[in-house]
């Protein structure tokens, strides 16, 4: 009887011992890899850097999911480098990027490694490492650095963490707009997220469906992955929490830092993202502003991708919202989307 009881309780005891050791050692996450800038100095050099970035796209992706650079028709007003969300691809920003181009901007929409493959059930995301994200982020900024200034970094969800990291560590970036950035997912206590980051190798090879009911039919999109290996999410959590924990702080002054938050967002914790933005850019931006969308809009987490079944936002409105967060005056339509504008300050974190 005692033997059976011991066998039954052994896993629980082991777990408690493990958690005690972790608590004793602290729950801080590792720092991020050092940046390695090699900025292009003009449009010709930018074109060469772009070719190098495009060469990273594998053969098993479609044209719609590849990295793309959009050029304005007339004189350029500046450049925007954009990063998409987790399990999505550059197609997420396709229509919005075209709208931004029509406003006079060069727009670089970059494909995050292992995303955008034709096999939407690929498990390759489990291979992604934060070191690869560092190389990828730097190469994107290297391309944009040779294009007309000012240069703004814009990112959604997981891409919001990359945009924040890039803006803090690369002097070429003048302004940052993080849209619902992924720092800590909803439904997970902060200590659990930190354990996942610190002990990624101990994660089971678990597959997570975005919607367990729809499974492979989720979203009705031809380019969004309907699920993901849990390990593939960890590098983005690593980025977000490292920024939140002040392991990376802005190395130069930017002209503005903005957070676009969504009260209907069921995926990310806005309060933790607010702390991240305030800490990273404290003293390095004249304004750190949060633009909170109106709850009555009913927009879901991904309100950008026009191919998603739950797409809610109008393309012109979304582009106008981004431009407003970049410092442009809001049109009446865009102003009607915003419930509240607030200055961010440091506070309690995750």
Express each pLDDT in 257-288 by its tens digit: 999 999 999 999 999 999 999 999 999 999 99
Domain that holds residue 220: 35-343
What tens digit of pLDDT does each residue of 149-169 get? 999 999 999 999 999 999 999
| Burial classification of residue 57, based on how many CB atoms lie within 10 Å of its CB (0-12 exposed, 13-18 middle, 19 or more buried) | middle
**Residue 280 sits in a domain of what CATH number?**
3.40.50.1820
More confident residue, 222 or 95: 95
Q: 155, 158, 92: which is closest to 125 by C-alpha?
A: 158
Query: Is residue 104 a part of any domain in this protein?
Result: yes
Which residues are registered as beta bridge partners of 261? Answer: 292
Query: Is residue 24 a part of any domain in this protein?
Result: no
Reported as type and span, the H/E element at residue 176 is: strand 175-179
- Taking a C-beta distance cutoff of 8 angstroms, is the pair 87, 224 a contact? yes
**Model-level pTM?**
0.91
| Secondary structure class of 292 (helix, strand, coil) | strand
Distances 259 to 7, 322, 326 between C-alpha atoms, Å? 50, 10, 10
Query: Is residue 153 a part of any domain in this protein?
Result: yes
Query: Is residue 293 a part of any domain in this protein?
Result: yes
Query: Is residue 62 a part of any domain in this protein?
Result: yes
More confident residue, 74 or 308: 74
Residue 311: per-residue pLDDT: 66
- The pLDDT of residue 75 is above 80: yes
| Secondary structure class of 152 (helix, strand, coil) | strand
Residue 13: per-residue pLDDT: 42
**Percentage, residues of the chain above pLDDT 70:** 90
- The pLDDT of residue 7 is above 70: no
Query: Is residue 28 a part of any domain in this protein?
Result: no
Label residue 346 by pLDDT band (50, 70, 90).
low
- The pLDDT of residue 23 is above 90: no
Query: Is residue 19 a part of any domain in this protein?
Result: no
Identity of the highest mean pLDDT range in 39-43, 187-191, 221-225: 39-43
Show the tokens assigned to 298.
């009913």
Query: Is residue 57 a part of any domain in this protein?
Result: yes
Which residues are registered as beta bridge partners of 288? Answer: 257
Residue 309: per-residue pLDDT: 61
CB burial readout 236-254, b (16+ within 10 A) else e: bbbbbbbbbbebbebeeeb
Mean pLDDT of the chain: 90
Residue 201: per-residue pLDDT: 79
Q: How many domains does the chain have?
A: 1
Label residue 295 by pLDDT band (50, 70, 90).
very high
């Amino acid at each position: 009887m005692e033997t059976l009881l011991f066998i039954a309780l052994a896993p629980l005891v082991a777990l408690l011992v493990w958690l005690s050791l972790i608590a004793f050692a602290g729950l801080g996450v590792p720092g991020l890899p050092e940046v390695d800038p090699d900025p292009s100095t003009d449009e010709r050099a930018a074109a060469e850097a772009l070719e190098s970035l495009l060469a990273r796209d594998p053969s098993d992706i479609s044209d719609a999911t590849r990295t793309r650079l959009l050029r304005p028709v007339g004189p350029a007003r500046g450049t925007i480098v954009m990063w998409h969300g987790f399990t999505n691809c550059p197609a997420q920003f396709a229509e919005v990027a075209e709208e931004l181009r029509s406003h006079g901007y060069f727009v670089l929409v970059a494909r995050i490694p292992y995303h955008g493959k034709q096999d939407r059930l690929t498990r390759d995301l489990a291979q992604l490492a934060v070191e690869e994200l560092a190389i990828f982020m730097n190469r994107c900024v290297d391309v944009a650095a040779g294009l007309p200034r000012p240069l703004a970094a814009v990112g959604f969800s997981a891409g919001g963490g990359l945009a924040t990291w890039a803006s803090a560590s690369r002097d070429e970036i003048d302004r940052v707009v993080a849209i619902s950035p992924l720092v800590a997912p909803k439904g997970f206590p902060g200590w659990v997220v930190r354990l996942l980051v610190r002990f990624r190798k101990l994660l089971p090879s678990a597959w997570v469906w975005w919607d367990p009911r729809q499974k492979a039919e989720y979203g009705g999109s031809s380019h969004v992955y309907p699920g993901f290996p849990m390990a593939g999410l960890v590098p983005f959590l690593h980025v977000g929490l490292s920024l939140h924990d002040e392991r990376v702080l802005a190395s130069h002054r930017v002209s503005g830092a903005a957070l676009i938050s969504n009260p209907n967002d069921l995926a990310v914790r806005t309060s933790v993202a607010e702390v991240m933005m305030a800490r990273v850019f404290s003293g390095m931006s004249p304004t750190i502003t949060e633009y909170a969308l109106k709850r009555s809009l009913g927009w879901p987490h991904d309100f950008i991708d026009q191919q998603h079944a739950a797409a809610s936002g109008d393309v012109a409105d979304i582009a106008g919202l981004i431009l407003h967060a970049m410092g442009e005056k809001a049109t009446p339509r865009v102003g009607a989307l915003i419930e509240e504008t607030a200055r961010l300050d440091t506070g309690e974190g995750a």
